[in-house]
Each structure stands twice: as C-alpha cells, then as structure tokens.
C-alpha cells in the first residue's frame, strides 16, 4: 500500500474513534461508574499449566532430590538460578539439620523476594526435596527413593510459573517464594529405633527459627503440597482451618469464582503436619496448606503418595491449572 492511502486510512480511523467517543459522552456518568467498579477487579495474568508441567519435568529429570545426593545438589542449583532468572531478590539459606536417624543433612532453603521493600507481603511456599523411601509402596520398595513429581516438584513447578508472571507484572503486595528443603525425610513406619517428634519439615523448622531476613513477617502464607495429581481434591486441612481460616476462605472462594469447584471442596479434610505448621508456630504467620487430600483412601492422600507411582505419569495439567489460577487470583487481588 502506498503512503498517502495508508495515511488517509489512519486519519479515517482516528476520526471514527473521535466521533464514537463524542457520541458516548452523554453516557459519561455511567461509563465512569462502570470504570470505577472495574478498576477494583485487577487483570490477573494467565497461568500456564504447560509451563508449570515443564518445571516439574525438569526437577524430576535430576532424579530423586534426596538430601546429600548429587541429584539434590544439582536441582538446588537449578531452582536457585531459575528463580533468580525470574527477577527475584535471592536468599540462599544453607542449613545443617539432623534427621530422625541422626544423619546430618546438608539442606538448602531457596528464597526469592519480589518487591522486597513492600511492607504488605504474602508468602508462597512448597518443599523441593523428595522422599528417600517409597514406604507406602510394596515392602521391597520401602528403601527406594521416589521421583516425587507430585510430592514436592508439583508445588515448586506451580510457584516457578507464578514467579515468571511476577517478573512481568507486579501485584500490589510484595511476594516471597520459599522452596523449603528436607520436608520429606520424616521417620518411616519401618524404623525400629526410638520414635522422635518433629522429624518432618526440617527445612521449614530451621527457616522458622532463623528466617532469611530478621523478624520476617507476612500477612499470610500459602503452602502448596501435592498440587498436581490427576483427579486431586483440596479440602479444608485441619491445622490451616484453625490457624488461618480467613486466608483459607479467601482461597477457596477465589477457586469457586473461577469454577474450580470439583478441585476445591468446601468441607473439612484431615489434619497434616506440614511446613505450614512451623511457619505459623515459629513466625506467627497464618499459613494455608493447599494439599491433595483423598477422603476415600486409607492414608488420606493421592494413591501414588510415597510410592514409586509418584512420577510424571500421575501429573495432570488440569489440576496444576486449577491451583495456579487460584493462587494467582488471590495474590493479584491482594491490596
Ligand atoms: C506426614 O505424613 C506426617 N505429613 C505429611 C506431610 C507430607 C509428607 N507432605 C508430603 N509428604
Ligand atoms: Zn511426602
């Protein structure tokens, strides 16, 4: 097209838009009112389940992320660099923690802060290690480490996808993403030594006592645990319901507004000792555990829980989508 004709076309378009905007001026008040009400509904970026799935695959490809192994160290490096590449201010928290059987585990909590100056903050967390034992599987597999595609990697995958959006569009509040280590090294059923309390969640226990910044505070936290299982359901987890009911209601309401009613069930589920307990106990931050819970199974969890079946085959993008969209809606609507 030659230049003069293109110019005339543009001029025509400009005139048309001018006419149409003049024409609507008699409705100015209603238009403004509509704008005011719409202004309160922020644009939430579109969560991509494909992207989250890829981040899960990458973690699982290292092999089981059992503390003190090469796969664990390599995956820790990947997670630190990925969160850094998504523009977060990074904190690398190394910790020697002691396992139920007296081993020193070289743990690493990986933390990325968005808008670190903001006073109003929301904490998002998941554990990145995987269990050294398939102790809910057949006996011959009890000492085999698991991929932990769902138990571990799924929560981290969803949070990495959220981090990608946080870099592109900042919400009104500051966000801290914490990948806790050594959550899943808890005392196994087959152990015949003396029973010990608090053997799970060693990374979050350490962080709770010594946070990445002194006196760290957040309005509330959201923990993602086993958020990728096919046909997963999320019930009101007991400890969260007692200590973080306000945030919990906000999350389940957001999920229902988005239509994810078959995933987010507004009924009481079991109570779980998970990282959110220590976030609340040591930092007094109400923290909600969005955890795959199955009321019809013996152990209360997904059929692949602590079995060799917890691999990429049990991950469903639709579940990741429901959880990712919901968490994004909550944080982008926080004022
Ligand atoms: C216990 O089984 C004691 N707590 C569940 C926390 C957990 C394990 N989440 C994932 N793996
Ligand atoms: Zn586990």
Mean pLDDT by 10 residues, the chain (335 residues): 43 41 39 47 94 99 98 99 98 98 98 98 99 98 98 99 98 99 97 96 99 98 98 98 98 98 97 98 98 94 96 98 98 98
Measure Cα distances from 326 to 164, 180, 257, 261 in Å: 16, 21, 9, 11
Compute, in angstroms, the gap from residue 36 CA to the centroid of ligand 1: 45
In a domain, 3, yes or no: no
| Cβ atoms 291, 239 nearer than 8 A | no
In a domain, 36, yes or no: yes
CATH classification of the domain holding 71: 3.40.630.10
CB distance 292 to ligand 1 below 6 Å: no
Compute, in angstroms, the gap from residue 305 CA to the centroid of ligand 1: 9
In a domain, 2, yes or no: no
Nearest residue to 152 (alpha-carbon basis) of 55, 225, 202, 223 = 225
> How high is the pLDDT of residue 40?
58
Q: Is 4 exposed, middle or buried (0-12, 13-18, 19+ CB in 10 A)?
A: exposed
**Of ligand 1's atoms, which has the minimum distance to the CA of residue 305?**
11
For ligand 1, atom 3, the nearest C-alpha belongs to 273
Q: How many independent structural domains does the chain possess?
A: 1
| Cβ atoms 127, 110 nearer than 8 A | no
Ligand nearest to the CA of 126: 1
* Residue 334 DSSP symbol: -
> How high is the pLDDT of residue 41?
74
Ion ligand 2: residues, Cβ under 5 Å: 131, 151, 184
Sheet holding 174-180, edge to edge: 89-98, 104-114, 174-180, 121-127, 220-225, 287-291
CB distance 225 to ligand 1 below 6 Å: yes
> How high is the pLDDT of residue 207?
99
In a domain, 1, yes or no: no
Rounded CA gap, 126 and 48, in Å?
18
CB distance 224 to ligand 1 below 6 Å: no
Q: Which of 125, 155, 186 to mutate to test the pocket of ligand 1 (most atoms within 8 A of CB)?
A: 186
In a domain, 290, yes or no: yes
Measure Cα distances from 302 to 110, 136, 226, 227 in Å: 27, 11, 8, 10
CB distance 181 to ligand 1 below 6 Å: no
CA 178 to chain centre: 9
CB distance 200 to ligand 1 below 6 Å: yes
> How high is the pLDDT of residue 278?
98
In a domain, 284, yes or no: yes
CB distance 237 to ligand 1 below 6 Å: no
> How high is the pLDDT of residue 7?
44
Compute, in angstroms, the gap from residue 225 CA to the centroid of ligand 2: 9
> How high is the pLDDT of residue 298?
87
Compute, in angstroms, the gap from residue 46 CA to the centroid of ligand 2: 29
CB distance 147 to ligand 1 below 6 Å: no
160 is in which domain, residue-wise? 8-332
| Cβ atoms 288, 247 nearer than 8 A | yes
């Amino acid at each position: 097209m030659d230049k003069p004709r293109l110019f005339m076309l543009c001029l025509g378009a400009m005139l048309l838009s001018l006419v149409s905007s003049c024409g609507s001026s008699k409705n100015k008040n209603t238009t403004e009112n509509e704008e005011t009400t719409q202004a309160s509904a922020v644009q939430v970026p579109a969560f991509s389940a494909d992207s989250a799935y890829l981040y899960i695959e990458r973690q699982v490809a290292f092999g089981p992320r059992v503390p003190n192994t090469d796969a664990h160290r390599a995956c820790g490096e990947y997670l630190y660099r990925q969160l850094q590449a998504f523009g977060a201010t990074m904190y690398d928290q190394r910790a020697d923690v002691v396992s139920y059987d007296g081993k020193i585990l070289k743990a690493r909590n990986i933390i990325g802060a968005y808008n670190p100056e903001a006073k109003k903050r929301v904490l998002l967390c998941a554990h990145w290690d995987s269990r050294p034992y398939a102790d809910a599987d057949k006996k011959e597999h009890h000492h085999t480490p698991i991929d932990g595609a769902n138990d571990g990697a799924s929560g981290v995958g969803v949070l990495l996808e959220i981090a990608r959006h946080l870099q592109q569009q900042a919400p009104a509040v500051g966000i801290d993403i914490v990948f806790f280590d050594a959550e899943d090294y808890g005392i196994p059923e087959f152990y015949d030594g003396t029973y010990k309390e608090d053997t799970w969640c060693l990374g979050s226990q350490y962080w709770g006592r010594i946070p990445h910044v002194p006196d760290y505070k957040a309005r509330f936290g959201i923990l993602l645990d086993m958020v990728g299982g096919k046909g997963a359901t999320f019930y009101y987890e007991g400890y969260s319901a007692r200590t973080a009911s306000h945030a919990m209601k906000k999350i389940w309401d957001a999920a229902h507004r988005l239509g994810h009613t078959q995933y987010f069930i507004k009924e009481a589920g079991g109570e779980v000792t998970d990282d959110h307990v220590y976030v609340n106990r040591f930092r007094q931050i109400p923290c909600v555990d969005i955890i795959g819970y199955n009321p019809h199974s013996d152990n209360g969890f997904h059929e692949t829980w602590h079995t060799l079946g917890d691999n990429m085959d049990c991950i469903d993008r639709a579940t990741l989508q429901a959880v990712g969209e919901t968490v994004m809606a909550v944080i982008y609507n926080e004022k």
